[in-house]
Amino acid sequence: MSGSTKRPEQSPQKPSEPERPSVLLDGLSGLNGPIDLRSRVAGRSGVHSSGSSTSARVASASVTGPFSLGSAWSRLVDSLAGDVILTHVPGRRVLDLGYGSPEISGWVKARIGDHLSIVEKGALDQAAGRVAETSGFLPASQFLDADGNLMIPEGDEDEPSVNLAEYPDANFDVVYCLRTFPHLGYDTTSSERLGRQLLREAARVTVDGGEVFVQIANPRSLRGIVEGIRNPITVVSRRRMILGDRYGLTRWDTIPRFLRFVPPELEFVRVHGLGVLIPHNATLHIPLVGGVLSRLEWRLRDLALFQRFGAQILVVLRRVNRGDPGV
DSSP secondary structure letters along 264-282: TTEEEEEEEEESSS--SGG
Q: What's the pLDDT score for residue 274?
A: 96
pTM of the model: 0.71
State the DSSP H helix or E strand holding residue 248, giving kind and residue range, or none if neither: strand 248-253
- First CA to last CA across the chain, in angstroms? 28
Q: What is the pLDDT of residue 11?
A: 47
pLDDT tens-place string over residues 99-127: 999 999 999 999 999 999 999 987 776 54
More confident residue, 229 or 95: 95
Reported as a single tens digit per residue, the pLDDT across 53-71 is 333 333 322 233 334 456 8
Q: Using the 8-state DSSP alphabet, how is residue 79 labeled? A: H
**Mean of pLDDT values over 307-316:** 96
- Can you tell me the distance from the alpha carbon of 185 to that of 131, in angstroms, rounded to the nearest whole number? 8
The pLDDT tens digits of the residues spanning 240-295 come to 567 665 556 788 999 999 999 999 999 999 999 999 999 888 888 899 999 999 99
